[in-house]
Amino acid sequence: MADKIDMLSLDACALRERLASGALRAVELIEACIARIEAREPEVQAWAWFDPDFARHQARALDAHRQAGRAIGPLHGLPVALKDIIDTAKIPTENGCVLDQGRVPNKDAALVERLKAAGAVIMGKTVTTELAYMQAGKTRNPHNPGHSPGGSSSGSAAAVADGMVPLAVGTQTGGSVIRPASYCGVTGFKPSFGAIPRTGVLMQSPTLDTVGVFARTPADAALLTQVLMGHDAGDRATSPQPVPDLPGIAQSKPPVKPVFAFVKPPGWAEADPQLHAAFAELTEALGDQVFEVDLPKAFDEAAEVRERINFAEMARYYYRYSKQSDTLGPRTQEALTKGNAILARDYLAALDWPDVLYAGLDEIFERCDAILCPAATGPAPEGLEFTGSAIFNGLWTLTGVPAVTVPAFTSENGLPMGVQLVATRGQDARLLRSANWFHTWLHDAGD
């Protein structure tokens, strides 16, 4: 058991090195993960579908592949969990919804195909809120089961936070990657809009839906994202362009220490006082590497605009569910009702806002490497019905910029709180490098 505990304490980059060198077999790592899941799943409840024998079969095949002297992929032997709105061939994908119980796709999502080609072990499907909206699922926060893990990628965040898997995939339409990562105390990365194809992923809002990842460190997030990024003909939001060397850039030393622009997003006044105090200490510790700046006044309307787009598109793409809306949770029903009431002129006008808001960030990004702000309004809320506010996330989803959260603070009740870093569109590698620097700086400061 000691070996298993030590193994699960390693981050994905370290595990990848051992798997590649043969110092660690895929079967050994998978057995350690299975043992952890079986021990902790009754309390955390992160999984919607998990079959130990399915994971073992993949691991044995990967070990045989390597032992035969054949080339291995960049994720060889690494277990990856998938949010249960991502299609997996011959494996249930039920979207957290009773209306989709028993649904088994015939084809993998594009990102799953890429994971398999890279040598990853598909560990299973993690719990999502109902239809990836706000009706909470069964997952609990690993740090305190009486508190929310966030949503909608609740199971993915919790599984990584609890050491069940080193890597997981989720999605964000409002704050569904960054917020649960902050609540559970892991790194969450939402890349630029269109960076990762959504082909085979439940569509809620094509203007906003973004695939993201969960990991222990920014370097681990870069390792996984590198494999997932790139053009796919099935998703018009993607474009044919080279994928940068995310892991190499993320782990490289910045030419100069990063400079951060600290912003207090709309909703700051309502945030937990502990968060206010933590950021005051953080900005003081960063010294001349941080300056405070206000967001343009137009951002005060970002939450309302994002919601209008989300609800209108949700009503369109969830129409098949609305026919039996009485079987859905009250939060989902309410969103569909609001979406159906939005006028076409208001929806079309809202579609102009992302680029308008993004243009307002130019002056800030010219002066910094990344914007620094909270990942959530405080620690995870008590109770399991409310998955938390996405007020500090939705504006970045709306503008399509990359965002990453790094665990930084601990609340009075022992729950984690994250710091969110945001960069300009397309600068995902540079953002991960700044986040990796920040992650190292935090650990050095803690020592």
Q: What is the pLDDT of residue 1?
A: 42
DSSP letter (8 states) at residue 147:
B
Question: Any bridge partners for residue 405, and if so which?
Answer: 188, 420
State the greatest distance between any 2 C-alpha atoms of the chain, in Å, as a whole number.
62
Task: Please give the Cα distance from 262 to 374 (Å, whole number).
Answer: 9
**Number of C-beta neighbours around residue 323 at 10 A:** 10
Specify the DSSP element, H or E, that contains 210.
Answer: strand 210-215
Residue 200, CA distances (Å) to 95, 97, 232 in order: 12, 17, 11
Mind listing the pLDDT tens digit for each residue in 391-429?
999 999 999 999 999 999 999 999 999 999 999 999 999
Mind listing the pLDDT tens digit for each residue in 306-335?
999 999 999 999 999 999 989 999 999 999
Average pLDDT rounded to a whole number, residues 237-252: 96
- Residue tagged active-site, from 156, 176, 205, 434: 176
Is 148 one of the annotated active-site residues of the chain? no
Is 83 one of the annotated active-site residues of the chain? yes
Average pLDDT rounded to a whole number, residues 241-259: 96
Q: Scanning the structure block, which residue is given the tokens 């839906």? A: 209
Is 239 one of the annotated active-site residues of the chain? no
- Residue tagged active-site, from 152, 153, 154, 434: 152
Mind listing the pLDDT tens digit for each residue in 263-322?
999 999 999 999 999 999 999 999 999 999 999 999 999 999 999 999 999 999 999 999
Average pLDDT rounded to a whole number, residues 222-230: 98
**Number of C-beta neighbours around residue 360 at 10 A:** 15
Mind listing the pLDDT tens digit for each residue in 6-46?
889 999 999 999 999 999 999 999 999 999 999 999 999 99
Q: What is the pLDDT of residue 445?
A: 81
Residue 401, CA distances (Å) to 278, 382, 406 in order: 25, 30, 17
Mind listing the pLDDT tens digit for each residue in 37-89?
999 999 999 999 999 999 999 999 999 999 999 999 999 999 999 999 999 99
- Residue tagged active-site, from 83, 153, 192, 434: 83
* Straight-line distance from the first to the last Cα atom of the chain, in angstroms, rounded to the nearest whole number: 28
Computed over its alpha carbons, how large is the radius of gyration of the chain? Answer: 20
